[in-house]
Amino acid sequence: MKTFTKHIFFLLLLACTLGNANAQDFWQKLTPIPGSNTKVHCLATNSKGHIFAGVDSYPDDGVFRSIDGGQSWQKVLTTFYPLRIKIDANDVIYLGRDYPSVTVSKDDGKTWNEVEFPEVSSVTMIYTGGQDTIYVGGDSNNGALFLRSYDGATTWDTMVYVHPFPTPDEGANTTERVSSMVITSDGVFYIGVFGYIYPDYIGGLYRSYDQGNTWERVATEVDFIEQLAINSHDDIFIASYSHGFCVLRSGAVSVEILIAYETYDVIVDHSDIVYASCYSFQACSYDNGLIFGRIPYAYIKRFYISQDGFLYAYHTDFNDVYRSTQPILSDNEQIPITNNIKLYPNPATDYITIQLPDNESGILSIYDLLGKKSFETTIDAGSKVIDISKLKSNIYMLKIETSSEVFTSKFIKN
């Protein structure tokens, strides 16, 4: 299993540089969800591997379930315009839709219970925090709304307007909506807000130190936020409709723009690999956003990582659902990456120095963007200087394989 997992991980890293050349090897297209003009708006899986998809397929909107890995689909709930679906660690399903309620199922979608929120126009964010804790975000005529429950959505002890609209109008369109939420390792809440009214209600990044009772806007240069994701270093990655793909590094006050393209989604896996869905392409980074490469192209907008390590993707305007042909990570075995070795300088001109941890040795290989091996040598613990003067100027993948692990990193040859 270890050899297989290492192989898949390295193939994924190579795929980041190959664009759409091997799309059929990376993505598997699942059976289309039934319906006329069906659009998949949200997707999640449970511990059994069952897939739940919320679809807009007027007049047959609802939730479909697949128990055979996407080979077939059965409708388990008829409901209007599902927007968000979240499954917690106990396989409880929470569904938000274009309606002031959350619908809950505790039996694999067989039965559903609806909890209404009078002041919410639609539920556009669901975050489960464990121990029956659930956070919900939405939109309303009065502004973006944040709600909190500690009993599995039965009762709600907090209802806060994140950025209140100064002149509420029952007949007005919604002004802003909560789109996403992350929590740092020290318990600070961040939410992304998407807006509709220029120039004052265009969304942004908001922070709360008191579990959502009060909010302040931070990194005010970014707005129209579609999605947030956070890594183990508390770096917050931001998918913005207007500013592209950004990151607010831990402790920073301003964002860095990583990819200057309209960005729809971002997700970070358990190994801190970052995936971004941008206009006309998807990208990934395994060094916390320092270097990005394209992954094999599919016509998608949204990502989802299942509990068994598969990467799912779908487009909110169509019924196509894709899944990676192999798991992108193993829950039982994390693959060490850049932090376990030192490579410098990067970029480099004639030489790079590799430093391995103590008691490690193995084979060092360098690959070009097409996956062709350009160089190979043995390497022992400590430092070793590698002559790269004969390599052409380009981006290269470095791989070090020891008896127990595989190390990978990219470097630039000037």
Residue 141 lies in a domain: yes
Most confident residue range from 76-90, 126-140, 321-335: 76-90
Question: Are both 251 and 313 inside the same structural domain?
Answer: yes
With a cut of 70, say whether residue 311 has pLDDT above it.
Answer: yes
Most confident residue range from 32-36, 83-87, 200-204: 83-87
Candidate from 213-222, 332-341, 360-369, 381-390 with smallest mean pLDDT:
332-341
Last residue of a domain, one of 291, 324, 357: 324
| Average pLDDT of span 246-261 | 93
- For residue 302, name the pLDDT band (cuts at 50, 70, 90): very high
Most confident residue range from 259-273, 325-339, 387-401: 259-273
With a cut of 60, say whether residue 22 has pLDDT above it.
Answer: no
pLDDT digits (tens, 9 = 90+) for 109-136: 999 999 888 778 899 999 998 778 999 9
SS3 track for the chain: CHHHHHHHHHHHHHHHHHCCCCHHHHEEECCCCCCCCCEEEEEEECCCCCEEEEEECCCCCEEEEECCCCCCCEEEEECCCEEEEEECCCCCEEEEECEEEEEEECCCCCCCEEEECCCCCEEEEEEEEECCEEEEEEECCCCCEEEEECCCCCCCCEEEECCCCCCCCCCCCCCEEEEEEEECCCCCEEEEEEEEECCCEEEEEEEECCCCCCCEEECCCCCCEEEEEECCCCCEEEEECCCEEEEECCCCCCCEEEECCCEEEEEECCCCCEEEEECCEEEEECCCCCCCEECCCCCCCEEEECCCCCEEEECCCCCCEEEECCCCCECCECCCCHHHCEEECCCECCEEEEEECCCCCEEEEEECCCCCEEEEEEECCEEEEEECCCCCCEEEEEEEEECCCEEEEEEEEC
Question: Are both 250 and 371 inside the same structural domain?
Answer: no
How high is the pLDDT of residue 10? 45
| Average pLDDT of span 36-56 | 93
With a cut of 90, say whether residue 245 has pLDDT above it.
Answer: yes
pLDDT digits (tens, 9 = 90+) for 153-172: 888 887 888 888 776 554 44
Percent of all residues in the chain with a pLDDT value above 90, rounded to a whole number: 46
Tally of domains in the chain: 2
Residue 190 lies in a domain: yes
Question: Are both 73 and 137 inside the same structural domain?
Answer: yes
pTM metric for this prediction: 0.76
CATH of the domain at 246: 2.130.10.10
Residue 232 lies in a domain: yes
Question: Are both 11 and 102 inside the same structural domain?
Answer: yes
| Average pLDDT of span 288-315 | 86
Which residue has better confidence, 379 or 296? 379
Is 330:309 a contact under the CB 8 Å cutoff?
yes
**Parent domain of 368:** 338-413
- For residue 333, name the pLDDT band (cuts at 50, 70, 90): very low
How high is the pLDDT of residue 113? 94
CB-facing half-sphere around the CA of 173: CA atoms within 13 A:
6
Question: Are both 348 and 313 inside the same structural domain?
Answer: no
| Average pLDDT of span 293-297 | 77
- For residue 11, name the pLDDT band (cuts at 50, 70, 90): very low
Question: Are both 164 and 243 inside the same structural domain?
Answer: yes
How high is the pLDDT of residue 23? 61
Residue 329 lies in a domain: no
Question: Are both 212 and 345 inside the same structural domain?
Answer: no
Question: Are both 246 and 164 inside the same structural domain?
Answer: yes
Question: Are both 272 and 236 inside the same structural domain?
Answer: yes
Q: What token pair was written down for 343? A: 């490579």
Last residue of a domain, one of 292, 324, 356: 324
Last residue of a domain, one of 267, 296, 324: 324
Residue 357 lies in a domain: yes
How high is the pLDDT of residue 236? 97
Is 168:149 a contact under the CB 8 Å cutoff?
no
Candidate from 6-10, 71-75, 91-95, 97-101 with smallest mean pLDDT:
6-10
With a cut of 70, say whether residue 19 has pLDDT above it.
Answer: no
Which residue has better confidence, 16 or 325? 325
Question: Are both 311 and 352 inside the same structural domain?
Answer: no
CATH of the domain at 342: 2.60.40.3080
Residue 331 lies in a domain: no
With a cut of 90, say whether residue 192 has pLDDT above it.
Answer: yes
Residue 27 lies in a domain: yes
How high is the pLDDT of residue 127? 95
How high is the pLDDT of residue 50? 96
Residue 196 lies in a domain: yes
Question: Are both 314 and 344 inside the same structural domain?
Answer: no
| Average pLDDT of span 370-386 | 84
Question: Are both 214 and 187 inside the same structural domain?
Answer: yes
Q: What is the mean pLDDT of the chain?
A: 84
